[in-house]
Amino acid sequence: MKVIIINGSARKGNTLTAIEAFVKGASEKNEIEIIEPDKLNIAPCKGCGACQCSKGCVDKDDTNPTIDKIAAADMILFATPVYWWGMSAQLKLIIDKCYCRGMQLKNKKVGTIVVGGSPVDSIQYELIDKQFDCMAKYLSWDLLFQKSYYATAKDELSKNQDAMKELEDIGKDL
């Protein structure tokens, strides 16, 4: 299976640690590519609607090649730190630009990993999960998992052996 991971964090911290644990489990049986939005040249969506009349976004940047990769994937993993009770701007940018090819994203297998500095019973995780629930319903996604983790210090998640095993096992079970 071709798996695209969108890393919504620009830092090398807990979100990347979670991604690496997932990849450790998933890499044996799957082709994996990680998209790092902070390293791409992608303009925000202007809402011009021109993409609905042609093939892809009119912006001459990294949008179309990035969305091509996402559309070609069998499974998409969205990974993000919590920024102000929501997903990161880096991840939201990619999701917004997916509008140009939204119908090509129907019926995908999808998972989410959210890492935040508040306990997992905090409203912030629920808000992010609900946003993905709405996208999943609209695009008929098979939402395989939604995992949230609490970690504040840069290396805190790596010390949580239960979380690391859970993420690796999720990857293995794809």
3-state helix, strand, coil in the chain (%, to 5): 45, 20, 35
Q: Which amino acid is at 105?
A: L
Taking the alpha carbons at both ends of the chain, their separation in whole angstroms is 8
Per-residue pLDDT tens for 46-94? 888 888 766 789 999 999 999 999 999 999 999 999 999 999 999 999 9
CA distance 132 to 81: 14
Q: Is the pLDDT of residue 104 over 70?
A: yes
Tokens 């997916």 locate to: 98
- pLDDT in the model for residue 107: 93
Region at 85 (left for phi over 0; alpha for psi -120 to 50; beta for the rest) = left
- Show the domains of the chain with their CATH numbers: 2-172 (3.40.50.360)
Residue pair 171/26 in contact (Cβ under 8 Å)? The answer is yes
Q: Is the pLDDT of residue 128 over 70?
A: yes
- pLDDT in the model for residue 154: 87
Q: Is the pLDDT of residue 157 over 90?
A: yes
CA distance 78 to 86: 13
- pLDDT in the model for residue 50: 83
Rounded to 10 degrees, the C-alpha dihedral 88/7/129/28 comes to -170
- pLDDT in the model for residue 76: 97
- pLDDT in the model for residue 54: 64
Q: Provide the β-strand partners of residue 80.
A: 114
Percent of the chain scoring above 70 in pLDDT: 99
Q: Which one is predicted more confidently, 49 or 29?
A: 29
Q: Across all residues in the chain, what is the average pLDDT?
A: 94
Per-residue pLDDT tens for 143-154? 999 999 999 998
- pLDDT in the model for residue 16: 97
* Among candidate residues 64, 143, 144, 132, the one with its CA nearest the CA of residue 104: 64
CA distance 72 to 54: 18
CA distance 50 to 44: 14
- pLDDT in the model for residue 51: 80
